[in-house]
Every structure is written in structure tokens, then in C-alpha cells.
Amino acid sequence: MVRSELLEKLLQAYPHLPRHVMQPALDTILNEITDRLAHGHRVELRKFGNFTCKIREARMGRNPKTGEALHFKSTQVLRFMAGGHILERLNRPPTPG
């Protein structure tokens, strides 16, 4: 699902709210999640999952083709842990028809 599909689902679920109201609301939610993660905070969405950022330390590596030593900078890596509700739905047997 992409952002525009999510926006359409929200508009279908709340037909009394116009697009020009729903679109900034969705942007605010997504921006707040991104900002919290960028500042090192954990984001927990009940029944969905948890987002956290871990720091991958700087390290030395090698180019496998040339053997040249490479330096990799420290970076943040996004981690997602699915919640129990979503795991249950993903592993539910498919319904016939």
C-alpha cells in the first residue's frame, strides 16, 4: 500500500471529512512518526507494531572485488517489530471463497 491508497481508504472510512482536511491530517501523523524516530524515540502503534531506530556503529569493511579497505560511517537503522494482533491476522488460515 502506498500513501495515496491509505488516503483513499481513510476518505472511504470517513466520507463526512473532505480530502483537504484528511490529507494534512495524514501528513501530520506520518511526519510525527518520522520526527520521533529521527530523535531516537520509540513509536508504538497498538495492534500494529513498534518502530525503533538503532545505531549501526562505524566500521571497516572490504570491497569484495578489489580487496580495498572501506570505511563505513555510523548510521541509524529502522527496526519494526510486528504486534501480536497483526501477526495473528497474517497467520490466520485463508477463508474460502
* Residue 97: per-residue pLDDT: 61
| 52 confidence band (pLDDT: 50, 70, 90) | very high
- pTM value? 0.73
What percent of the chain shows pLDDT beyond 70?
Answer: 99
Name the band, by pLDDT with cuts 50, 70 and 90, for residue 92: confident
φ, ψ of residue 22 in degrees (nearest 5): -70, -35
Which three three-digit cell numbers place residue 59?
A: 566500521
